[in-house]
Structure 1
């Protein structure tokens, strides 16, 4: 098993452990908090996430990972600029919290924003150290630290919700998780000198950050804008419903994309430095991602009702049509996690910003208009905006890879066949559930088994490249397993 495969393994352990905690805590919190209370949390989270995305790219993970020669001066400068900006923004949030709460006509937002501002003082520390661990492919260490942080988030959120802290429960949970993560990373890294203030290489950090933060802010704002629009135009219940629909739709990101995301950037940059053909690397990755994402999202769309009933409870059934619409819309984003790393690898981060400025403002305008007609229309808007964004990104990326549309289309043919094969099996289970032949729990379990069987058969029949990667990874795990098990003493 090579270093990239080991990194994927540790990253998977990290993300899946976090996903289990997320499922459990969400299921419990959905029964302790109302959609309106979730709406307050979602708006506070949206506001602070957009701001955090702005300063993190000034010396954040992407900058430190892509830097070919990383000196102590570079690390210290990156941390100093990031922390300085975050401190200024935290103070601005504290001062303007009351103004923002009046803007949305929700007094409850003020306390949430003030508490969330505490996160901004901790994130630069953990962000810098995470980048250094990722650069060195130390994903095992990151897995342990992230697990401790996720446990803290879950325990504090649920505990405070039981004590009737309402929407503040998950907000305080997030702060607790950030503090635990920073503490764990510091205890593991121990070289505190990299966090010493310095501005020796500020020009390079700021030059990269201006473009990179622009890309990050506009994309994060677009993803969170529907919740802000709904809060202002409709009500917090609509925000809570849409937020939960997004969470369910993004399960694939938590299962797959967030597992490979930490590895994509350093892996592509390394391959570029070694003179690899980036077009081949990109098309291979597109094939693999689409063969997993498309069947998964299609299956979730078909089984949305039993998933919502079992996970969130009957009070959240209004989420079902939103989930189905958003799953179909997100099929267009199968290559999204590759776009920015490839732009960075070919030295065209400016093009990433230009493509975002072309595709996202019209999409935001469409979302704003849709907000006046209800939460389902906002979700349906994604059926137009997400394919448009994907098309613009691929258009700008193609010249740098000498990528022709026909090559892109051929890379997706087998994944399309795998998706249809998987969806047909899941659809049969959905029909049996609606007919009353299976209850929701048995039907969902059956659908999972059938989907896995149909997916594997489709991969085999089409000869999809993913099959070879899975077999190779399984062989690597089998080879690695004896080293992970404790040895028995010889008698």
Structure 2
């Protein structure tokens, strides 16, 4: 019940934040020129690597630590202060050379404002991590939509006032300030403290390993563009980007929502003595029941989706997107392995897993020296297999989770894949057989409806654990509708 409530609170906050961000992009895009937006985008890209080090893994350290008292919290605050202030100094000193590198003074102006965020960051991030640890999701949800609201209002206001590319920077800065003020109102007296050098060793060691794993993961996410751009050219990179973008665009929000609740909840359960192997498998059973069918249906509908969203010039991306979605579906039983290892304090083991996975991916990408883009994407299956082997071994050594036991738990969720895919597959086959493949939106609409019916049928026929969640949701909606009906009747 608590997890359901936390997910609903964070879900509403994420939805509000998405709508605010989308509205801000629409309005600002009409007020500013592409050049002005480009100046800000380049400046933020420069900060990309710095953001990995900004809290030095302290947030994850506080969430997973067995005990957190005043001493541990002060040490975490101090590590965040030293790392973020050092980054602020380096970025401030580098702003002019970077502006000369990109031949625009606006880069230096934007960086000057954004550097202030790094000075403010220590007075908010550790306390937010403490709220995560204490599962205070009502505060976390409020912080999420409140800061996004402030950032949207300030950004749009500054754009109207003629602040040009500085509008987004001012929005980000004011949102940080408001967040710190709000946190001080919610948890007075817990933000401001003197930094220390005593007791920071454990937080520093954990943070350094966590940050290194994040860097490897960040480099891995950029490796396809960097390597294929050199070996195959920009056009091939664009086709792969569209194929990858289909998966990210449709499921990234779901993953972000679930992970915001999963990590602190998993760490809290581990501290209370719950069996980590059973907890991970049970959690993945619910996640796989949602994500695997979505990815499978996307694999079936890749071509009409690509053509409807991006146009016929991207048709070559469709088979690539299908393969990428299939590989992602196979990996769904291990979706949050990294967060689970970190929650158990196994940050070194997580670093080793990330290093092996990214090394295999780089080797596969380097095969593009001899192979075509399609062949390279097919070889991504080797990366998938390597990830399963490495992650399963790490989970066994950490929690004692055996592959057979894990698959036995998530197998009912995987059975929902054919139930969800049958209808869309028949719809696509019918459209192709009758010369209707050009009607992309009707195909997607019908396929989506059939996928939903197939999924619900599978849940009830197979008596999947999601059946209880569906019945609970139906009951909640009925109560809401009934209460409104009674109010209208009065």
TM range (shorter): 0.7 to 0.9
1:277 corresponding residue in structure 2: 275
Per-residue CA deviation, residues 67-99 of structure 1 (Å, 9 max, x unaligned), is 343334433432332232123234434555788
Farther off after superposition, 416-425 or 68-77 = 68-77
| Aligned pairs for 1:409-428 within 5 A | 409-428=407-426
1:54 corresponding residue in structure 2: 53
Report the Cα distance in structure 1 between the residues aligned to 2:161 and 2:429, rounded to whole angstroms: 42
Report the Cα distance in structure 2 between the residues aligned to 1:363 and 1:108, rounded to whole angstroms: 36
How far has the Cα of 1:419 moved from its partner? 0.7
Q: 1:355 to 1:163 in 2, by over 3 A?
A: same
Q: Is 2:110 the counterpart of 1:111?
A: no
| Aligned pairs for 1:202-281 within 5 A | 202-229=200-227, 243=241, 245-251=243-249, 253-281=251-279
Report the Cα distance in structure 1 between the residues aligned to 2:308 and 2:229, rounded to whole angstroms: 27
How far has the Cα of 1:10 moved from its partner? 0.7
2:441 corresponding residue in structure 1: 441
Report the Cα distance in structure 2 between the residues aligned to 1:403 and 1:390, rounded to whole angstroms: 13
Q: 1:392 to 1:163 in 2, by over 3 A?
A: farther
Farther off after superposition, 302-311 or 384-393 = 302-311
Report the Cα distance in structure 1 between the residues aligned to 2:124 and 2:230, rounded to whole angstroms: 33
Report the Cα distance in structure 2 between the residues aligned to 1:310 and 1:201, rounded to whole angstroms: 56
Per-residue CA deviation, residues 195-252 of structure 1 (Å, 9 max, x unaligned), is 4341243123112212222322222322233334456667777666655544431245
Q: 1:12 to 1:222 in 2, by over 3 A?
A: same
Q: Is 2:346 the counterpart of 1:351?
A: no
SS at 1:194 equivalent = coil
| Aligned pairs for 1:26-175 within 5 A | 48-59=47-58, 61-93=59-91, 111=107, 114=111, 118=115, 120-150=118-148, 173=168
Farther off after superposition, 327-336 or 38-47 = 38-47
How far has the Cα of 1:453 moved from its partner? 0.8
SS at 1:69 equivalent = coil
User: Whose RCO is larger (CA < 8 A, sep 6+)?
Assistant: 1
Farther off after superposition, 270-279 or 22-31 = 22-31
Farther off after superposition, 297-306 or 41-50 = 41-50
Per-residue CA deviation, residues 15-53 of structure 1 (Å, 9 max, x unaligned), is 233445566777899999999999998887666334322
Per-residue CA deviation, residues 118-145 of structure 1 (Å, 9 max, x unaligned), is 3544554443343233223232333333
* TM-score (ref. length: structure 2): 0.79
How far has the Cα of 1:460 moved from its partner? 1.9
Report the Cα distance in structure 2 between the residues aligned to 1:43 and 1:233, rounded to whole angstroms: 24
For the 8 Å contact 1:54–1:214, the answer to whether it is kept is no
SS at 1:451 equivalent = helix
How far has the Cα of 1:258 moved from its partner? 1.7
Report the Cα distance in structure 1 between the residues aligned to 2:232 and 2:45, rounded to whole angstroms: 16
Over aligned residues, Cα RMSD in angstroms? 4.7
1:184 corresponding residue in structure 2: 179
Q: 1:174 to 1:101 in 2, by over 3 A?
A: closer
Per-residue CA deviation, residues 105-164 of structure 1 (Å, 9 max, x unaligned), is 976899399479535445544433432332232323333332344456678889999999
Unaligned residue ranges in structure 1 (runs of 5+)? none
2:387 corresponding residue in structure 1: 389
Report the Cα distance in structure 2 between the residues aligned to 1:322 and 1:116, rounded to whole angstroms: 41
Per-residue CA deviation, residues 412-454 of structure 1 (Å, 9 max, x unaligned), is 3323321122122122333455532773333322222221111
* TM-score (ref. length: structure 1): 0.79
For the 8 Å contact 2:85–2:118, the answer to whether it is kept is yes
Q: 1:201 aligns with which of 199, 202, 213?
A: 199
For the 8 Å contact 1:328–1:383, the answer to whether it is kept is no
Report the Cα distance in structure 1 between the residues aligned to 2:319 and 2:38, rounded to whole angstroms: 18
For the 8 Å contact 2:88–2:119, the answer to whether it is kept is yes
Report the Cα distance in structure 1 between the residues aligned to 2:241 and 2:454, rounded to whole angstroms: 31
| Aligned pairs for 1:355-370 within 5 A | 355-370=353-368
Q: 1:333 to 1:65 in 2, by over 3 A?
A: same
Farther off after superposition, 7-16 or 349-358 = 349-358
For the 8 Å contact 1:58–1:78, the answer to whether it is kept is no
Q: 1:295 to 1:261 in 2, by over 3 A?
A: same
SS at 2:191 equivalent = helix
1:5 corresponding residue in structure 2: 4
1:463 corresponding residue in structure 2: 463
How many aligned positions are there?
483
Report the Cα distance in structure 2 between the residues aligned to 1:117 and 1:108, rounded to whole angstroms: 17
SS at 1:334 equivalent = helix
Unaligned residue ranges in structure 2 (runs of 5+)? none
Q: 1:108 to 1:449 in 2, by over 3 A?
A: farther
SS at 2:336 equivalent = helix
For the 8 Å contact 1:148–1:181, the answer to whether it is kept is no
